[in-house]
Structure 1
């Protein structure tokens, strides 16, 4: 009996050594130290609290591309890159070889089969559909009116109240509520009144936050761990289930209500141009599952990303007074001072495009703090990246967008500076930067359809707030990126709101 155990131990040791040698041979460009059994996961877990910055530091040391190996037999191995040439290859040149894939859809199951998770024909159908809806003139008018109403009738009065109270406020929470009400109005034609002076708790808004937190968690542990938690309904997976149940009940109730509204009016009365109504009025009938997934994906696209962009933008502007002064001067030049202030209530998409310096400042904020900090793909066939890294069939690839804005080779030695001037030419126009280099709105065929509309929304909010109020970050506050699939501030943005002297 003792001899059998001894022989088994020797065989086990030989197998482990062989597997270790195999892993070392396969992983020729390691991202982190590859420990026996546990792989590189320990370093990820230990630095999870600063995941984005830590990954950036390591990628800089590895030349922008490296391999990650997870614990043995967990299928967490992947290739990680922040090299713009690799990104261009994956997102554009060889677009059809790199897909979201089944692993991505499993992790992002809350998104259903919407535009963000689908591939091939399903993705193209979704994209063509939304492209058609977004470019309708009636939708543009509806969007502009909705945003102006939200800003002037809800956001500015709330900021005035906060100024009068002279209290410290979490500006990120304000933007989160603003974008939630805004996207509900645009997609559903319904205002949940989340943005009000009493800061009410809205269950559906909390459910979206929880779902995103749980999705990030699934990226950080082996699949069998979160699968087991899901089966046992414990930990993050229990929270995910509860959040998805809340979301589904809310969205399906909105769909049922909208169907009844359309049936009741049957083309009579006011023309409804919210996106859910537009989807239901398409010639090709969409079932409730398709509509549910479409609504969920539109919510994520138009809520959290805008919240993230506005939060980091205002923090950067508040901590860079010279940039703030230049933005204010541009607003004055384009729209006049106090005696012409009524012009600010009528800024359309064309007028917003005249704000070149503001556009550059927003781009700079998005470069340093992209709302979606990483993107994942899966190879269909074996390939070779321009950096010389071999990609095997089914290889998972993570594109670290957060790190891309912090590489000297791409942006120069001042890459960590907030410098809107880098986006403006000598003639005063905008400098073109290819999407695979500035990837805040994705790149290639999957470039964000709502890019121009997002810039418009952010400019309207920026102009309205900066012209009327001064945002002062509380002393000693340190902005820290949250470990999440959306780049929000970990502890919110603590500020004081004071009225600004009128522009003259």
Structure 2
């Protein structure tokens, strides 16, 4: 069949190209520190503004929101019907996430954008969301499950992370911190989910194809967020551009889930075949502490392989992307602020002094024992300065920098802005943490003290409402794994900062990647030195 282009299509395409070229040319000539309101161009809408500022998209949106009173409305290309409302106003956030949350679901397009997790708790709304959240709450709310997850994390810190850092300190070798933390968190997330250690944090450091696939999901998702659905769906149909890369990532993720489920099955069969009744009971108890077991024994998931795979991928991405994204920024902030490191160590010192027997020996791989100190979750639970330092890093570098909602029925925001049915609402968490009106003139400074208040001579965490600090979501979708995530991050942070000095290698550009998660674009090269105790 012959394929031809109509004159009208050719002319309209040339107009779009010329307008876009002119805008990008003007952007190139414009002073880079000049932030301005986005222009709704004829035909193209806000697309040129996004393209022209893609190199610093989050900071660009932050500047626009600061200049426009924390809210602005923009449009997509003509004929697409795309209309966006962008906000970082806490009053609007409370309205969207709590007061009128039923009017602001994630929506069908959100589920399509994250199609590898379609049907799981990350993408659904309404009754399916409530039902799945109740399931998660029953799984993660079990004291035995929480204790098992704490044990997995502490064991991986003691036997994997600290020995690696000890070797790097002895050799004086720079290494990439973000990759190390990603590998560590990948194992710590997979172990409670499947009951099997993937071994990504091992001496030979195998390639992380699965982690790269997760990164691709989030990078292509941002692309899907910012273009008309018909555009990326056409690319998906013809397997072009980012959609081709995403298709490969989906295959990798599904293969990983199948591999881990098979390993979990074999591990159960191996223990179940033992003759000793006590070992069989122990294996059964261990199996029940796997998140996987809670789902394969549930008829709703057992009868729906797609839903089960999507849910397991959801657990892996949720665990890896939150903690794995936060900790590199946290260590970067500490390296840039030595006085905060001193404050954390001052808080840890009484624990070490009161239980010197709590040190363990970790092999550094060359038959030399190096004593390192680890901290139990109960040790770090009352450490408010350490938690304030983590929260301050989450304020400036939230793992999920943007939330997306869909408008069901027309509404008026507390700010007075109107939204229409079918509009897309973007909430910029990144911008919210950098608004002078919310956090003061020092809003761009890393200052954990802003999270603390004095209580009769003792420091305690200051209450900050979730509609102002949205790192753990808000309202009916509040993160159910918040306490577990904080516990794991404190376990890692305390051990690393007590035992090592972390120094950022000079000359590297540390900046966010263009993705739905706020990873570092170029990673983080560091050196570590063993502290003298």
Label 1:236 to 1:185 Cα distance change in 2 as closer, same or farther (>3 A).
same
CA distance in 2, matches of 1:58, 1:118: 31
Alpha-carbon distance in 2 for matches of 1:474, 1:347: 28
Per the alignment, residue 491 of structure 1 pairs with 522
Shift of 1:31: 5.1
Out of 474, 478, 502, the position equivalent to 1:443 is 474
Does the Cα contact within 8 Å between 2:326 and 2:394 map onto a contact in 1? yes
**1:386-423 superposed Cα distances (whole Å, 9 cap, x missing partner):** 00011111211000010000111111111111111111
Distance 1:31 1:262 in 2: 59
Q: Deviations over 1:241-275 (max 9, x none)?
A: 11101211221343355456657739744212121
How big is the shift at 1:426? Answer: 1.1
Q: Distance in 2 between matches of 1:54 and 1:284?
A: 44
Deviation at 1:144, TM superposition (A): 1.2
Equivalent residue pairs, number: 475
Give the corresponding residue for 1:16.
Answer: none
Deviations along 1:21-80, whole A, 9 cap, x unmatched?
xxxxxxxxx951111111111110111111111110111001111012111112332110
In the alignment, is the contact (CA less than 8 A) between 1:373 and 1:487 conserved in 2? yes
1:134 match: 140
Deviation at residue 165 of structure 1 after TM alignment: 2.4
Identify if the C-alpha distance between structure 1 residues 331 and 307 changes in structure 2 by more than 3 Å, giving closer, same or farther: same
User: What does residue 353 of structure 1 align with?
Assistant: 381
Q: How has the CA–CA distance of structure 1 residues 42 and 337 changed in structure 2, closer, same or farther, with 3 Å as cutoff?
A: farther
Secondary structure at the counterpart of residue 403 of structure 2 = strand
Deviations 1:154-197 (A, max 9, x none): 00111111122222211011001111111111211122211123
2:408 touches 2:422 (CA, 8 Å); kept in 1? yes
Tell me the SS of whatever aligns to 2:466: coil
Contact kept, 8 Å, 1:82 with 1:400, in 2: the verdict is yes
1:403 partnered with 2:431: yes
Q: Which residue of 2 aligns with 1:23?
A: none
How many angstroms does 1:208 deviate by? 1.4
Counterpart among 221, 246, 249 of residue 243 in structure 1: 249
Give the secondary structure class of the aligned counterpart of 1:63. coil
Aligned ranges 1:95-494 → 2 under 5 Å:
95-258=101-264, 265=272, 268-270=281-283, 271=285, 272=287, 273-282=289-298, 286-287=302-303, 288-336=305-353, 339-342=356-359, 347-427=375-455, 428-494=459-525
Aligned to 1:15: none
Per-residue CA deviations over 1:327-380 (Å, capped at 9, x if unaligned) read 011010233289455399674444322111000000000001100000000111
Between the aligned partners of 1:424 and 1:53, the Cα distance in structure 2 is 27
TM-score by length of 1: 0.90
| CA contact 1:161–1:197 (8 Å) conserved in 2 | no
Deviations 1:412-462 (A, max 9, x none): 111111111111111211111110001000011101001010110000000
Q: Equivalent residue of 1:386, what SS?
A: coil
CA contact (8 A) 1:45 1:220 kept: no
Moved more, 275-284 or 385-394: 275-284
Contact 2:82/2:423 (<8 A) preserved: no
The structural deviation recorded for 1:96 is 1.0
> What is the distance in 2 between the residues matched to 1:445 and 1:230?
33
| Partner Cα distance (1:235, 1:162) in 2 | 39
Quick check: 2:172–2:527 contact (8 Å CA) kept in 1? yes
Q: Give how far 1:214 is off.
A: 1.4
SS for the counterpart of 2:184 is: helix
TM-score (normalised: structure 2): 0.85
Unpaired runs of 5+ residues, structure 1, are 1-7, 13-29
Measure the CA separation in 1 of the matches of 2:406 and 2:376: 40
What is the distance in 2 between the residues matched to 1:455 and 1:128? 21
Task: Work out whether residues 114 and 217 of structure 2, in 8 Å CA contact, stay in contact via their aligned partners in 1.
Answer: no
Give the match for residue 22 of structure 1.
Answer: none
